[in-house]
Structure 1
Amino acid sequence: MQLPFFHVDAFTQKTLQGNPAAVIPLTAWLDDALLQKIAAENNVSETAFFVPTDKGFHLRWFTPTTEVPLCGHATLAASSVIFNELGFDKNLIHFETQSGELIVLKKGDDIIMDFPTKAPKPCPIPAGLSEALGVPILETHENHFVLCVVKNEQDVLNATPDHNALAKIAPGEFILTARSRDYDFVSRCFAPGHGITEDPVTGAAHCVSAPYWADKLGKATLRARQVSMRGGDVTCTLKGNRVELMGQCSLFLKGTIFL
């Protein structure tokens, strides 16, 4: 068996920046265990698989260790492959996913994803969280991710997370965030429970952080920067219970998987 393979850097205009994702178009679904093995072999934070449907595509995402219900950067990467590499002649894609229908629009070089918001609710700061992240946490909010607010951008940059300690505090993912001088907000994202220490740029996390900062700053459109080592830019626009995440992609590699 041979499968087409694309390696795409998402939320960036330049290769070797942003968040790398593997994208594998399929004509029909393979066994889930095989999909997971392929994702583990790729060993990037997410591998996106999709098959055609009558309306568009059925899209799924796998980390090296598990399937996840939503992934922004791999959706952006898959959309870039469909728009630019597969002869798709429309500027709108309908994806069927575990998180419902996702609609993606191509506008020039920009790709705009229409995602559900996941506005977080305040929660007590978990015991040991500041120590596990290495910076003082001012407040926490939760909705799939634990949103950890710190004093300023420098605290986000200075964080030195203990990933084993984080995994014991909560099994999911952590967003570390603060206001920024050059952007509306910055963030970093850690997911030790999913086999990912630090994710370079996390679209799904902005479904959580964008509603929080939109409420704090009183604005619907926000410029965000994920300040990981690779870094990436996300423009977030709140529209009711949906959020549009806009970014660009850069194709790094394409080839063939042999099974």
Structure 2
Amino acid sequence: MRLQIFTVDAFTDQAFSGNPAAVVPLLEPLEEQTLQKLASELNLSETAYVSPIGDDIEPWVTSSQFNLRWFTPTNEVPLCGHATLATAHTLFSSLGNKSSRIEFKTKSGLLVARKDGSNIILDFPANPPEPLTAEQRTDLDVLVKGVVNDLLVDTVLLSHTTKKLLVKLHSSCTRKDLESLKPDTALLLSLHNGSLVKGVIVTLSGGLQGEVSEDCFVESQNYHCLSRYFAPWNGIPEDPVTGSAHTVLGPFWSKLLGMTRLKCRQCSPRGGDLIVSVREDGRVDLAGKATTVIQGNISI
């Protein structure tokens, strides 16, 4: 069987930056084992499998509803922002979909992607982090230290729905401190078994004050928040730009700063930008750009 495959850099408009994801359009279902083996072979943080719902004659062009699943090299995950953005970009830009609004049926519920000029906006559930219990603080303290080393920590919270631990660095820490972190993957795996935490977000204020305009991607290099994300429990030592992490970061920083629209930078070596708008209905809008880097076929 020959399948189309696209590699898309998400949350950027420049090739070889942002977060790469593979997108595989499917008209026929594949066995679970095959989905996982293909994701392992591609070895990107996520491989997205998308298939149309309905019996349209030209489903990639005319359908506006799709099934969507995400696989890391080691397991299926319930939510992935950058691979959803990559999938929407592939449908709009490479497969000629004529819709301006696409619905994805996923294990995290219904997700919506819509075109907004050169941006794609993802409608995702918010996943606000919560305080740790005394027992959790004791159990996870060694993990936090394993990630940030000797940097001072201001706040540690947990998003139970995503199993993401949010670690806010003290205001005395700098962007250079954040970018210099090099946690040892093997050490992190030895410090926690992944039962409570599947990924660690390290975040810091970006220093930007006030709301941002609609075209804030091209304004300045200042941000409301900076972050990095480490998820070796999902087979990802560091994820370059993480949409699902910003469903946690958005509610946290929105409450802290008293703003609903945030300009965010994930400071991985590849790096990427997105705008997070926190809504009153318990959801967030993630706005970003994407670019196709590879297009071809794979035989399985």
Matches within 5 A, 1:83-98: 83-98=92-107
Matches within 5 A, 1:1-259: 1-54=1-54, 56-123=65-132, 124=137, 126-133=140-147, 134=149, 135-143=151-159, 144-151=163-170, 152=173, 153-167=175-189, 168-169=191-192, 171=194, 172-181=198-207, 182-240=222-280, 241-259=282-300
Query: How far, CA to CA, are the matches of 1:82 and 1:98 in structure 2?
Result: 20
Greater strand proportion? 1
Q: CA RMSD in A?
A: 1.2
SS state at 2:153 partner: coil
Q: Which amino acid aligns with 1:257?
A: I
- Taking every aligned residue pair, what percent have the same amino acid on both sides? 42
SS state at 1:127 partner: helix
Query: How far, CA to CA, are the matches of 2:204 and 2:192 in structure 1?
Result: 21
Q: Which amino acid aligns with 1:258?
A: S
Q: Which stretch of structure 1 is more off in the superposition, 185-194 or 158-167?
A: 158-167
Q: Which amino acid aligns with 1:178?
A: L
CA 1:4–1:103 in structure 2 vs 1: closer, same or farther (change >3 Å)?
Answer: same
2:59 counterpart residue number: none
Greater Rg, structure 1 or structure 2? Answer: 2
Runs of 4+ in 1 over 3 A off after TM superposition: none
Count of residue correspondences:
259
Q: Which amino acid aligns with 1:101?
A: L
TM-score normalised to the size of structure 1? 0.97
CA 1:170–1:188 in structure 2 vs 1: closer, same or farther (change >3 Å)?
Answer: farther
Query: How far, CA to CA, are the matches of 2:192 and 2:204 in structure 1?
Result: 21
SS state at 2:50 partner: strand
Deviation at 1:130, TM superposition (A): 4.1
Query: How far, CA to CA, are the matches of 1:136 and 1:157 in structure 2?
Result: 15
Runs of 5+ unmatched residues, structure 1: none
Query: How far, CA to CA, are the matches of 1:154 and 1:120 in structure 2?
Result: 25
TM-score normalised to the size of structure 2? 0.84
Q: Which amino acid aligns with 1:141?
A: L
Contact 1:132 1:163 in 2 (8 A): no
